[in-house]
Structure 1
Amino acid sequence: MKNNVQLITYIDRLTGSDTKTLNNILNDQLADLFSGIHLLPFYYPIDGSDAGFDPIDHTQVDSRLGNWNDIKALGEGHELMADLIVNHMSAKSKEFQSVLQYGKESPYWDLFLTKDKVFPGGLSKSDADKIYRPRPGSCFTNFALPNNESADFWTTFTDNQIDIDITSDKGKEYLIRILKTFSENNIKMIRLDAAGYALKKAGTSCFMLDETFEFIDELSKAANDLGIETLVEIHSYYQTQIEIAQRVDRVYDFALPPLVLHSIFTKDFSALTKWLNISPKNCITVLDTHDGIGIIDVGPMNGKPGLLSNDEIDNLVKTIHVNSAGESQKATGAAASNVDLYQVNCTYYDALGQSDFDYLVARAIQFFAPGTPQVYYAGLLAEKNAMELLSKSNVGRDINRPYLDSAGIEAALKKPFTKAMIELIQLRNNCTAFNGEFSIVSEKSTLKMSWKNKQQSIRLMVDLVENIAHIEINEDNSSRIISLNNLLNLS
């Protein structure tokens, strides 16, 4: 993977159309900005109960977006990442429909996970209380089978997302078949979606077990053998991310987004600096994604202190709600069918009160943090909360999943922030100092982030009290200073 800025996007929600249109946009309006593209689920169907994360057929491109040849063509100009949804598939899949029709006689019976497979002696209240679940209600759904029988199937997320038995031969064959399809169509990296929930074991939380790490290791090796890198997507305690990073190609830095917000809100870089001194270097950095802004990633867990205290997290969440004029509250917690507050659903731009300066500073910090940066399509264009879409769908995360088109992109590209953002992206892509050594120093409200590679160096300096920020670049025996304030025409 190139150490350049990448784009995260849905095909249809950015283009209003299909894969060929996305390719045209990337080669025209967004030309030379992104070395890689994380294509959010484009499998059949893209409009299920979870925006493509509940595939009926994981190896079929939704025909409304094109076909595998279109994906392959897109991959000729950009490194492509796709989601491997390891935990579940749609209840409408032919495989699960076969189970409903034939029960245990179905050739796909072993592909799915039932309660009895994990708890053959029955599920005790003690074991039930230990299971970690991010959604309210039971993690099982009862389905009727032939001959007046029924079975409780694991449905970690929704009753339309049937959990796969990844330990079975059928489960392993299923995942390998997807990997081979990806390999044949220019997919260079996979994002292991919901991997933390994939392994269930009686008497445990059924989340991020020792056996889960073993599963990730095996699947990563299988992907590597096909020329595919792996990115693990897990929201958990920050030390867990450090452990995972030692065992996979890439891991997300999910602690960065809330820490950047906390720093700007409190004018104190201490927590961010502590994290960036110990954070994994083989990471993908984000500020926003198709999901919400993670909170669990910086909080305490099981009596162990977090990067932020509970009081600091409360203040962080309240400030987001205030900055977004209460819009984030309409899309978060119970409004998003979450059992606890582990994510806040809001655009990052609205979380920062639509302040162009604060948002540009946040992006500069992301680009200077260790790792390869990814920029979400709505974040690239500084989109505001999609309240109309939220009111129509009643899906909390839709607040940050707008539908755009070429005209909307054209209008957004004329905004002062977007122009400044593009300059930052080009700077991050073209400066070789980012391939060198990283250092960070802060004194509460001031921050210095530096990269040095042989004779090349680049430094970001931020002062949150004076509201100024600039970048110093030294290369080819010359130096220059770029003011973020000037980029926004604020000085």
Structure 2
Amino acid sequence: MTWQVLHDKVKHHLEYIYADVPLEHSLESLTMSLMETMGIKPDEDVSLPQSHSNYWDEDDIIMITYGDSVIDGDERPLVTLNRFLNRYSKNTINNVHILPFFPYSSDDGFSVIDYSSVNEALGSWDDIEAIAKDYGLMTDLVINHCSARSVWFDNFIKGEGPGSDFFFTGDPADDLSIVTRPRVSPLLRETETKDGTKHVWCTFSHDQVDFDFRNPKVLLTFIDIIRLYIDKGAKIFRLDAVAFLWKIVGTNCINLPQTHEVIRLIRTLIEHVDPSIIIITETNIPNRENLTYFGNANEAHAIYNFSLPPLLVNTLVTGNCKYLKSWMMSMPPAQNGTAYFNFIASHDGIGLRPAEGLLDDEEISELVHTMQNFGGKISWRASDHGQQKPYEINITLFDALQGTTKGPDKWQIDRFICAHAIMLGMEGIPGIYIHSLLGTSNDYEKVANTGQNRSINRRRWDFKELEALLDSPYSQHHKVLTRLSQLIRIRKAQPAFHPNATQFTLQLNESIFGYWRQSLDRKQSIFCISNVSDEEQTILLSDINLIGTDNWIDLVTRQQIALSDAFLQLKPYQVLWISNQDFE
């Protein structure tokens, strides 16, 4: 692709984005500024991305962590994190999502004060780059809002300097009743400025003030930030809360066409700098809306599979997989060049909006009640009609799976491993939260200290204490890390677990969840079968139709599957990965 063709493509994106916005400068000027900011110059070669290419394979696992999830005395936490990775995850994890590591004022990093520097309490850019040398670095682009304590917002109040025109304002007289909100706080923040009282738009909290992307300076600033992160080693960009980016009063202000076009523009610019860099959109919204962020393989490379956590937890606490099965059957295969980002735990809670339309109100209510019985907290949002509805469940995944709707039981670890085995085998790229890898329980002390429900799943481990627990064969942490690491190593060796390999949902009974994967070259088949109940289950071999000319082995136990047997017996929460080839 020539520079001119790329230039015309960028300009076309801008024509769509700013079609209804009066601009101070020409689109041609903006096009040139964007390309120059990204480092794309007329006299240099332009990288040519290959259409529908997969820049990932079965070897890719992403660990999600805060920069200070593990600390060791006065050592910089990012240095400690690197030591932890090299000691406990070197052979399993090859990508690391370090949650916002910038100076911030609230929301554990997602209220960014300064996008261009590393929080001194964590370390430095040198520490980030050291991790990026050995692991694929996934970094957040907190693109919808920044901190009300930022220099930009100070300049907005003063009416001068960079940021003085960066923020979206509304009018209390406007009808904002249909604006989609993830929080119950007032949408508008009354702010006294040099130019009088203004009402700043705050989708999340009054410390998180929303940008106004109608101003091209905001777009240019974020392209500059993206270029900086690329130079520091970023290989994966997570676009945080991007669904709310563009606002038009009188609409619901979510998933607007201009938002999608901004993502396409960002992708166009990034992939012509380095085609292997991928974009993941963090859009915690109902499933059908979430799927639109793939575009036509020209928008997000990957989307968070937000419906998976609530559906899988619901499956394992009820012992019934009918909702999970229906959802999986409805999911379109991700075309080459796109992939699902699968996760079942994160720094946030178990989102319930993505379960809307998949679980009925009664099922959601029972799930919420069960999680509360297991020590979970509930965060709320305002519905379109002003009612409060549960937005997410705040609980560690380990404690969420301590029992069933009947109460806690002895199967906690087996149920927890079963959940990860289901996720690891599915179509898509797996993401594993550090506290799942470590089998961390609810941190009630941190909740009490911060007053924030989400703190329950954001424990900060002392490295020496953690080492002692991980080295003790009797601790839950050792058992979880050992078993998860084994599953990950098995997964990484199997071509049929490529994120884009064929997937087909099996029709077994409601206590057995199963799907079939086939490698891209069609040589390897794996039948992934999980007992999601607390009772033994039996399946007929004829139900999964193993080809008689192949030799079949369960990759988890290394046991041969005798085709002469009429059935298979599964213990509670047992998982089988039955394959015609073993590559480990």
Name the TM-score, length of structure 1 as normaliser: 0.88
Q: Choose which of 272, 278, 297 in structure 2 pairs with 1:225.
A: 272
Secondary structure of 2:70's aligned partner:
helix
Q: Choose which of 70, 87, 103 in structure 2 pairs with 1:14.
A: 70
AA in 2 matched with 1:466: E
AA in 1 matched with 2:504: S
Give the helix-richer structure, 1 or 2.
1
Counterpart check, 1:110 vs 2:165: yes
Counterpart check, 1:63 vs 2:120: yes
Give deviations 1:298-330, integer Å, cap 9, x for gaps.
11xxxxxx11111111112112222x1xx213x
Please name the residue that 2:182 is paired with.
134
Give deviations 1:272-317, integer Å, cap 9, x for gaps.
1222223253110000111110111011xxxxxx111111111121
Distance 1:467 1:65, change over 3 A: farther
Residue 41 of structure 1 and its aligned partner are, at CA, apart by 0.5
Please name the residue that 1:207 is paired with.
254
Please name the residue that 2:38 is paired with.
none
AA in 2 matched with 1:409: L
Equivalent residues of 1:462, 1:468 under 8 A apart: no
Residue 477 of structure 1 and its aligned partner are, at CA, apart by 6.5
Please name the residue that 2:131 is paired with.
74
Residue 166 of structure 1 and its aligned partner are, at CA, apart by 1.5
Instruction: Give me the CA root mean square deviation.
Output: 2.6
Distance 1:312 1:397, change over 3 A: same
Distance 1:24 1:465, change over 3 A: closer
Residue 468 of structure 1 and its aligned partner are, at CA, apart by 6.6
Distance 1:487 1:14 in 2: 30
Please name the residue that 2:149 is paired with.
92
Please name the residue that 2:61 is paired with.
5
Residue 345 of structure 1 and its aligned partner are, at CA, apart by 0.6
Equivalent residues of 2:98, 2:137 under 8 A apart: yes
Q: Choose which of 440, 447, 459 in structure 1 pairs with 2:505.
A: 440
Give deviations 1:21-77, integer Å, cap 9, x for gaps.
2112211122211111111010113xx211111111011111222222221221111
Please name the residue that 1:119 is paired with.
none
Please name the residue that 2:535 is paired with.
466
Secondary structure of 1:143's aligned partner:
strand
Q: Choose which of 203, 207, 216 in structure 2 pairs with 1:169.
A: 216
Distance 2:258 2:122 in 1: 37
Please name the residue that 2:90 is paired with.
31
Residue 225 of structure 1 and its aligned partner are, at CA, apart by 2.9
AA in 1 matched with 2:137: L
Please name the residue that 1:241 is paired with.
290
Please name the residue that 2:29 is paired with.
none
* Long gaps (5+) in structure 1: 117-121, 300-305
Secondary structure of 1:343's aligned partner:
strand
Q: Choose which of 151, 173, 185 in structure 2 pairs with 1:123.
A: 173
Distance 2:140 2:530 in 1: 35
Please name the residue that 1:302 is paired with.
none
Please name the residue that 2:368 is paired with.
317
Distance 1:469 1:55 in 2: 53
Counterpart check, 1:356 vs 2:413: yes
Q: Which moved more, 1:24-33 or 1:356-365?
A: 24-33
Residue 486 of structure 1 and its aligned partner are, at CA, apart by 11
Please name the residue that 2:556 is paired with.
482
Residue 207 of structure 1 and its aligned partner are, at CA, apart by 1.4
Please name the residue that 2:490 is paired with.
427
Secondary structure of 1:142's aligned partner:
strand
Distance 1:114 1:153 in 2: 4
Distance 1:53 1:137 in 2: 17
Residue 459 of structure 1 and its aligned partner are, at CA, apart by 2.4
Distance 1:270 1:222, change over 3 A: same
Distance 2:448 2:538 in 1: 38
Distance 2:302 2:538 in 1: 30
Please name the residue that 1:303 is paired with.
none
Count, aligned residues: 461
Counterpart check, 1:251 vs 2:303: yes
Equivalent residues of 2:287, 2:355 under 8 A apart: yes
Counterpart check, 1:186 vs 2:233: yes
Residue 485 of structure 1 and its aligned partner are, at CA, apart by 6.7
Give deviations 1:422-441, integer Å, cap 9, x for gaps.
11111111222212322221
Q: Choose which of 421, 436, 451 in structure 2 pairs with 1:379.
A: 436
Q: Choose which of 510, 523, 542 in structure 2 pairs with 1:455.
A: 523
Distance 2:572 2:391 in 1: 37
Give the fraction of aligned pairs with identical amino acids, expressed as a percent. 28
Residue 234 of structure 1 and its aligned partner are, at CA, apart by 0.8
Q: Which moved more, 1:345-354 or 1:192-201?
A: 345-354
Residue 265 of structure 1 and its aligned partner are, at CA, apart by 2.2
Distance 2:486 2:259 in 1: 41
Distance 1:175 1:445 in 2: 48
Distance 2:226 2:530 in 1: 43
Please name the residue that 1:269 is paired with.
321
Distance 2:191 2:279 in 1: 34
Distance 1:449 1:408, change over 3 A: farther
Residue 195 of structure 1 and its aligned partner are, at CA, apart by 0.6
* Long gaps (5+) in structure 2: 1-54, 382-386, 404-411, 558-569, 575-584
Equivalent residues of 1:196, 1:212 under 8 A apart: yes
Distance 1:89 1:374 in 2: 26
Residue 469 of structure 1 and its aligned partner are, at CA, apart by 10
Give deviations 1:146-200, integer Å, cap 9, x for gaps.
26x2211112212211111122122112211110111101101111101111111
Equivalent residues of 2:537, 2:572 under 8 A apart: no
Residue 480 of structure 1 and its aligned partner are, at CA, apart by 4.2
Residues 391-410 of structure 1 correspond to what in structure 2 (within 5 A)? 391-410=448-467
Secondary structure of 1:28's aligned partner:
helix
Distance 1:481 1:60 in 2: 45
Equivalent residues of 2:422, 2:530 under 8 A apart: no
Distance 1:37 1:78 in 2: 6
Distance 2:303 2:573 in 1: 32
Residues 280-319 of structure 1 correspond to what in structure 2 (within 5 A)? 281=334, 282-299=339-356, 306-319=357-370
